[in-house]
Amino acid sequence: MRKRKVQRDISNRRKNVIILLLGTLIAIGPFSIDTYLPAFKQIAGDFGVETSAIGLTLTTYFIGIGLGQLAYGPLMDKYGRRKPLIVGLTLYILMSILCGIAWNLWSLAFFRFFMALGGCAGMVASKAVVRDYFDKDKVADVLSTLMLIMGVAPIIAPTVGGFIITTFHWEVVFFSLAGFAAFMLFNVVYVLPESAEPNRSTSLHPKRVAREYWSIYKNKDFFLFSTTRGFAIGALLAYVASAPFVFIEYFEMSEDMFGYIFGGNAAGLILGSQLNRLFLRRFTTFQITFTIAILMAILTMGITIYSFWIAPQFWVIYPGLFTMLFFIGFQNPNVTALSLQPFNLQAGSASALVGAVSMIFGSIASTLVAQLLTDSIMPLLSIVTFCSIAGCIAVVYYKVQYGRGYAFAKAYYHHPHRIKQRQEAA
């Protein structure tokens, strides 16, 4: 099998430009979600449905992201990163325009599905390009930088969306997203170099693709860490899907105040991802992952128990959700890096699969919370607690199964089992 030629002979300055571009590509996902959240009531009014029914457009978007990433993985291994990315951004632009002219809830949900299929190309390509350009022990650090750029999106997106729907109308939100994607497409074409030589031996036959994904998924490292990431993203997307109900309806806040509240919580995600970079200089990726998993489980259990016995109160719920997102800021880049470590030639497919697993978990969590939220926020708290505990169990199982104490974690990358896996993957 021909080895993939990775282009590493670029300057540090050019790498910084590439990191900025990759972070913006990843940000298309959250920006596509958060910008139109303040418009839920306006869209529901125009379509003559309940506000909660607009949650269907979130669910179809999450499903589209999950399925789309599975398709882009082998495509980017076979044809390189740029060509599938250009096709995906073009599809995203077209579907964003169609979302702006949607005539009912079902048409909007349908177009949002294909909008996600296009947008998720940036999510797959970004992680794969990072894996192409940077050494394995630097991947988590670079992903944390991408999280900083991506984290700006949920801070400013609701504010931008709120301004658009008050000044214009909700359709302009989707036209604006199309314009943003067109700008990114220009940068991809003229700025982003190809980071991987096309691997023509990669098969696109469904059975071969399914077998390749299965071979990746049954890798113990990938299975446990992608599952941990899936539960973390499940908690995150359950919060995103329920945020308009929690703050606008349950705590009776204005749409403008919702933008500040939502953005403030997103700042916690950014803060965690950037502190993670500092912690990685002193601790291993697994050490941080293990500690954060335990703290997140304790936090969410505490909030849920308190709200069950006393009552859900804003001064408890808001700081609690902020801290949960702060922990996810640590967890997301670390478990992503740990999931991708065993793979070289399959980096594109592994990147796609880890994203798809996360979106599957996220789709289930967001759908459940949308169906269960009526007049209480306890369903949200129960779901994020379950996700946190389940993710903690996966990490603890890994530690117990494959090593005792942090001595193993310190030698993680150089463990003979990992070395053998990397040799086989190469």
Please report whether residue 410 resides in a domain.
yes
The pLDDT assigned to 10 comes to 57
Q: Which tokens is 215 given?
A: 């071979």
Gap between the Cα atoms of 426 and 422, Å rounded? 6
CATH code of 180's domain:
1.20.1250.20
**Rounded Cα–Cα distance for residues 346 and 323 (Å):** 35
In contact, 54 and 41? CB cutoff 8 Å? no
| In-domain check, residue 1 | no
In a domain, residue 59? The reply is: yes
Residues 161 and 39 sit within 8 Å (Cβ to Cβ)? yes
Task: Give alpha helix (H) positions in 134-197.
Answer: 136-167, 171-190
Compute the distance between CA of residue 344 and CA of residue 424 in angstroms, rounded to an integer.
Answer: 10
Cβ proximity of 301 and 389 under 8 Å: yes
Contact 60, 110 (CB under 8 A): yes
Answer whether 96's CB lies under 8 Å from 149's CB: no
| Residue 166 falls inside a structural domain | yes
Separation between Cα atoms, residue 57 and residue 113, nearest integer Å: 8
Residue 199 lies in a domain: no
pLDDT at 245: 81
Distance, in Å, from the CA atom of 359 to the CA atom of 240, rounded to the nearest integer, reads: 13
User: What is the number of domains present in the chain?
Assistant: 1
* 281 domain-assigned: yes
Query: Does residue 152 belong to any structural domain of this protein?
Result: yes
* pLDDT number for residue 34: 78
Q: Where in the sequence is the domain holding 155, given as residue range(s)?
A: 12-194+204-425
pLDDT of residue 290: 94
Quote the pLDDT of residue 7: 45
Q: What are 353's two structure tokens?
A: 């699969």
One pLDDT digit (tens) per residue for the chain, 426 residues: 343 444 445 566 677 788 888 888 888 877 888 788 888 888 989 999 887 688 788 888 888 887 888 888 788 888 888 999 999 999 999 999 999 999 999 999 999 999 999 998 888 888 778 877 777 667 777 877 776 676 677 667 777 887 888 888 899 999 999 999 999 999 999 888 887 777 777 778 888 888 888 998 988 889 999 999 999 989 988 888 788 788 888 888 876 787 788 878 888 888 898 898 889 888 888 999 999 999 999 999 999 999 988 888 888 999 999 999 999 989 988 998 888 887 766 766 787 788 788 888 887 887 788 778 778 889 899 999 999 999 999 999 998 887 544 444 444 444 445 555 545 554
Q: What does 41-70 look like in DSSP terms, one character per residue?
A: HHHHHHHTS-GGGGHHHHHHHHHHHHHHHH
Residue 351 lies in a domain: yes
